[in-house]
């Protein structure tokens, strides 16, 4: 009986979908085969949601970028884009729409498998680089990062900021290594490991997306992620364990005699 993570394959080419499904099943994954966005939506509604989606870019009807964008907005599972487009601008666009990784056709199934496993490890919260016990929650500026739940929350309002798996991985790198210049190579190694390829400047895209997410949520932490010219990036602020519980912001009670 196959008891591994569930991968949804959204691919309109019958041959590719069948061959990839059989390959992944042979590697111990459960596979949901989908021909397009509508088919995927039906399976998502029926539940449970897949652990990861392999999503073809060029689909009839709603294309892969549109599906990727709306799944990200809804806080859906990690996504690996699968497409014949191989220009740098296409990769950037896919990542900006919220994809966690990108594999070009024609592809080696082993390469795709490595990418899938890497994204799943990140989504499950891979162990920290050091074996030292770390606080469950870390605070920087007005942001609380829950290392176990893989969430980022505004301390004052208890509002969670929606982050993709890749964005959270970057944030995790910064809050666990504050006030230290981190090179692009280091960030790539910690977030993508051996799956990184020659286009690895896409780390800049992911950092930009992370800043945008934090800034859009009104977090002061966005401005603390600084670019260090010719070196990389730094979280230019101290980080400490959470000492005060995150509570929703309330209106102060009026004192005696106040109108």
CATH number at residue 154: 1.10.10.10
| Domain, as residue range, for 234 | 137-241
Give the model's pLDDT for residue 193: 54
Residue of higher predicted confidence among 22 and 5: 22
Residue of higher predicted confidence among 52 and 46: 52
- 250 is a domain residue: no
pLDDT tops 70 at residue 8: yes
- What's the number of domains the chain is made of? 2
Based on the fold, state whether residues 110 and 159 are members of the same structural domain: no
Based on the fold, state whether residues 11 and 106 are members of the same structural domain: yes
pLDDT tops 70 at residue 126: no
Residue whose token pair is 């020659």 = 198
**pLDDT tens digits for 192-217?**
654 444 445 678 888 999 999 999 99
Of 68, 95, 123, which residue constitutes the final position of a domain? 123
Give the model's pLDDT for residue 85: 66
Based on the fold, state whether residues 181 and 103 are members of the same structural domain: no
- Average pLDDT score over the chain: 80
Based on the fold, state whether residues 77 and 175 are members of the same structural domain: no
């Amino acid at each position: 009986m196959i008891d591994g993570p569930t991968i949804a394959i959204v691919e309109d080419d019958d041959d590719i979908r069948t061959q990839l499904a059989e390959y992944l099943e042979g590697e111990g994954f459960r596979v949901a085969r989908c021909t397009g966005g509508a088919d995927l939506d039906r399976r998502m509604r029926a539940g449970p949601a897949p652990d990861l989606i392999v999503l073809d870019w060029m689909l009839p009807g709603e294309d892969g970028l549109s599906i990727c964008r709306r799944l990200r907005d809804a806080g859906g599972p990690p996504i690996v884009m699968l497409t014949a487009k191989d220009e740098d601008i296409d990769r950037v666009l896919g990542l900006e729409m919220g994809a966690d990784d990108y594999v070009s056709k024609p592809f080696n199934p082993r390469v795709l498998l490595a990418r899938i496993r890497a994204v799943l490890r990140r989504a499950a919260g891979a162990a920290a680089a050091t074996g030292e016990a770390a606080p469950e929650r870390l605070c920087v500026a007005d942001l609380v990062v829950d290392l176990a739940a893989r969430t980022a929350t505004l301390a004052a309002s208890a509002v969670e900021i929606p982050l993709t798996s890749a964005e959270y991985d970057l944030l995790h790198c910064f809050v666990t290594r504050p006030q230290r210049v981190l090179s692009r190579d280091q960030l790539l190694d910690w977030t993508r490991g051996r799956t990184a390829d020659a286009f690895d400047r896409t780390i800049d895209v992911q950092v930009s997306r992370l800043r945008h997410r934090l800034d859009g949520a009104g977090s002061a932490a966005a401005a603390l992620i600084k670019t260090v010219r010719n070196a990389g990036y730094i979280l230019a602020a101290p980080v400490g364990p959470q000492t005060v519980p995150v509570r929703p912001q309330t209106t102060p009670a009026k004192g005696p005699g106040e109108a």
